[in-house]
Structure formats: structure tokens, C-alpha cells
């Protein structure tokens, strides 16, 4: 896929918005507005944003937990207002206040999230099977972390996808760590993309801090899948700038990640890298940058207002209605 100026700006805007929402989520968790927990996306936004921004609205995505799916939703074109409202427990949320950090937006091909990592794989096989059956050219893009790739569910789903030639793109957001576990101690090879070779699946390893590289690789795989050529695997080497979750220590095997380690990661901030390149190329001016930042701030303010004005759900009858469909 060739990216024009508008496309590049769209990618940049989505990255900036993602980070703004990520920061808002962190702040709102601290003030008790956001419920439960939060796993910040900072440093790892590009795979989600790059992998979704150019998908069709009816393409199906399975977001990764990092940033609780914000990068993916924003890329996919979902207005995050009702998602954030849900995460704050409000009745106006996508899950009517029943879901918390889970919640579905069917019309955007997001059928919802789960709490058990790796259960996305069999579900994605099912979405891919439905997409193949309905013949509309829908593609499923399943995002997951390096740690999550160790679940056996991936093997079953990937094999099924390969043997049935399902239109699925597996996008691994390899940030090198799973909670407190470095990936080199959880997988024996350098590249997780090697996993694809077990099924003869095409794979690529890309710089996950380069949002354009991600978008190119994913969209090439999406085209293949759309054309009936089956699944493929994209590994994005990315980073996690902060601790696993808010309130967690930033440790690996019980030892602190050093400030040097983090500083080194931060040198390759996907937004800074992309901004610099867009400014250099003249795709953006400093004024554009300023305006995009301000628009993101305004969107957060608007979202916060929406959330604050929304009521909490307060009717147990909601449960009966939600338990079973008619």
C-alpha cells in the first residue's frame, strides 16, 4: 500500500490521540475515575495504530491488552468516548457499565475483549472462519504480546488458520517483556516470527517503533488475506516505557529495570521519531504539530465531560437482560 500525505497525517494524529488517552487513563485511575486497573501503552503505540488505521470498517480486530486496546480502537476509527466511559463504569459505556475494560463495538469489527490472555486466538480463528464463509473480503487482525504468544491456544488457532487458509493476520507486539518476564527467557529464539514457520505461514519482522513500517507490513498481509491467500504473521519489535501496570514495580525477575535501560528505550519514542520525520519531510509544520496536540487535549476534555455527566448504572435488572439474548 502506498501512503499519501493524508494517510501519514492520519497515522500521526492517531498516535498523538492514543498517547493523550493513555495519559488520561493513567490520571483518571489515580483519581479513582477509571476503575479496576490500567496497563499503559506508552512506547508501544505504533503496532496498534499502524496495524489498524487503514483497515476496512468491517475488518475484525482483536486488540492487545496494552493500553487496553486504545491504540487499536483509535486506529480503527472508534470514538473512544464510550469506551472510556465504560472503563469508568458508566451506564453510557459501550458495555452499558457491565464490562469495565471489556467491551464490544460490533459495527467496528470489535467483538470485545477478555481477561485471559491468549483466548483471543481461538476466537480469532472463529472470526476468520466466519469472514471466509461470508465471502465479503473481511480480514481479521489479531494483536497480542510476546508473552501471550506462549499460550498453546496460538498453536491451535494458527494451525487451523493455515490449514483452512483463513483471512487472519497475527500481529505480535513484541516489547521484550511480559509483566516481569523478559521474552528471551520465555522463548528460545531471537524472533517470535519463527513461530510462523511451523505452519508455512509468511512472516515479517518490522521495526515496531516505525508506525509506517508497521502499517506497510500489516497492510501487505491484509491484502494477501483479503485475496484468499491465508494467514500471515507480523512481528513488531516495540517497547514498554513504564511498568507493566499502574502501581506495579518495574522489575524483571525481581530486579529493577535500570534508568539507563528505560532511557535507551525512550530514545526510540514512536511519536517523536515519526514527528521528526514528518517535519523533516514537510508533511507537517510545527503549527500542525501544535494544533494536533491541542485537538487531542480538547478531545480528552470532551471525553472527561461526557464521562462526568454520565450516570453509573444502578439497576440489577440490567443483569437479567444481559445474561441471555431473547
Task: Name the DSSP class of 151.
Answer: S
**Residues 112-151 contacting ligand TPP, CB under 6 A:** 115-118, 145-148
Asked if residues 73 and 110 have their Cβ atoms less than 8 Å apart, the reply is yes
Tell me the CA distances in angstroms from 305 to 29, 238, 300, one per residue in order.
Answer: 16, 33, 8
Tell me the CA distances in angstroms from 274 to 46, 198, 281, one per residue in order.
Answer: 10, 34, 10
Sign of CA dihedral 297, 303, 307, 310: positive
Q: Is 175 in the site for ligand TPP (CB under 6 A)?
A: yes
**Residues 237-276 contacting another protein, CB under 8 A:** 248-249, 251-254
Q: Is 285 in the site for a copy of itself (CB under 8 A)?
A: no
Cell (9 digits) for 196: 510462523
Cell (9 digits) for 132: 471466509
Separation CA 268–CA 143 (nearest Å): 21
Considering only 52, 153, 175, 242, the residue that binds a copy of itself (CB under 8 A) is 153
Considering only 24, 46, 61, 65, the residue that binds ligand TPP (CB under 6 A) is 65
Helices (H), 135-210: 152-163
For residues 97 to 136, the per-residue mask of contacts with a copy of itself, x marking binding by CB under 8 A and - elsewhere, is ----------------------------------------
Angle between helices 5-30 and 286-309 in degrees, nearest 10: 40
Residue 152 interacts, among ligand TPP, a copy of itself, Mg ion, none and using kind-specific CB cut-offs from 5 to 8 Å, with a copy of itself
* Residue among 77 and 202 whose Cβ is closer to a copy of itself: 202
Candidates 69-77, 87-95, 96-104, 171-179; binding stretch for Mg ion (CB under 5 A)? 171-179
* Residue among 147 and 167 whose Cβ is closer to Mg ion: 147
Q: Is 19 in the site for a copy of itself (CB under 8 A)?
A: no
User: Kind and range of the H or E element at 81?
Assistant: helix 81-87
Terminal alpha carbon distance of the chain: 44
Q: Number of residues in contact with another protein, rule: CB under 8 A?
A: 75
Residue 188 interacts, among ligand TPP, Mg ion, another protein, none and using kind-specific CB cut-offs from 5 to 8 Å, with none
Considering only 1, 30, 198, 263, the residue that binds a copy of itself (CB under 8 A) is 198
Tell me the CA distances in angstroms from 36 to 14, 53, 166, 263, 285, one per residue in order.
Answer: 25, 28, 35, 29, 39
Q: Is 146 in the site for Mg ion (CB under 5 A)?
A: yes
Q: Number of residues in contact with ligand TPP, rule: CB under 6 A?
A: 17
Please report the DSSP string for 102-121 in residue order. Answer: ---BGGGTB----SSTTTHH
Q: Is 241 in the site for a copy of itself (CB under 8 A)?
A: no
> Where does this chain bind a copy of itself (CB under 8 A)?
150-156, 159, 162-163, 185-189, 194-200
Amino acid at each position: 500500500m502506498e501512503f499519501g500525505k493524508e494517510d501519514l497525517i492520519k497515522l500521526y494524529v492517531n498516535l498523538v490521540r492514543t498517547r493523550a488517552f493513555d495519559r488520561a487513563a493513567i490520571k483518571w485511575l489515580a483519581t479513582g475515575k477509571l476503575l479496576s486497573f490500567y496497563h499503559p501503552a506508552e512506547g508501544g503505540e505504533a503496532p496498534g495504530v499502524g496495524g489498524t488505521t487503514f483497515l476496512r470498517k468491517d475488518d475484525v480486530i482483536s486488540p492487545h491488552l496494552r493500553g487496553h486496546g486504545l491504540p487499536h480502537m483509535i486506529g480503527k476509527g472508534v470514538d473512544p468516548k464510550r469506551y472510556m466511559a465504560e472503563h469508568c463504569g458508566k451506564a453510557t459505556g459501550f458495555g452499558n457499565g457491565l464490562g469495565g475494560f471489556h467491551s464490544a463495538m460490533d459495527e467496528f469489527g470489535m467483538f470485545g475483549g477478555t481477561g485471559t490472555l491468549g483466548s483471543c486466538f481461538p476466537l480469532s480463528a472463529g472470526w476468520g472462519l466466519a469472514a471466509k464463509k461470508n465471502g465479503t473480503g473481511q480480514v481479521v487482525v489479531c494483536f497480542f504480546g510476546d508473552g501471550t504468544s506462549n499460550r498453546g491456544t496460538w498453536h491451535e488457532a494458527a494451525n487451523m488458520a493455515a490449514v483452512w487458509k483463513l483471512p487472519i493476520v497475527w500481529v505480535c507486539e513484541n516489547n521484550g517483556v511480559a509483566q516481569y518476564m523478559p521474552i528471551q527467557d520465555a522463548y528460545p529464539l531471537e524472533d517470535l516470527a519463527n513461530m510462523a514457520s511451523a505452519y508455512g505461514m509468511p512472516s515479517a519482522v518490522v521495526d515496531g517503533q516505525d508506525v509506517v513500517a508497521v502499517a506497510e507490513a500489516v497492510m501487505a498481509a491484509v491484502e494477501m488475506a483479503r485475496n484468499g491467500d491465508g494467514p500471515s504473521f507480523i512481528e513488531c519489535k516495540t517497547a514498554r516505557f513504564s511498568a507493566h501496570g499502574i502501581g506495579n514495580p518495574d522489575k524483571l525477575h525481581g530486579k529493577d529495570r535500570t534508568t539507563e535501560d528505560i532511557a535507551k528505550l525512550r530514545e526510540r519514542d514512536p511519536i517523536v521519531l515519526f514527528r521528526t520525520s514528518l517535519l523533516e519531510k514537510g508533511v507537517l509544520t510545527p503549527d500542525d504539530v501544535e494544533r494536533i496536540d491541542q485537538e487531542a487535549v480538547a478531545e480528552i476534555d470532551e471525553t472527561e465531560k461526557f464521562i462526568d455527566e454520565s450516570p453509573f448504572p444502578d439497576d440489577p435488572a440490567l443483569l437479567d437482560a444481559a445474561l441471555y439474548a431473547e
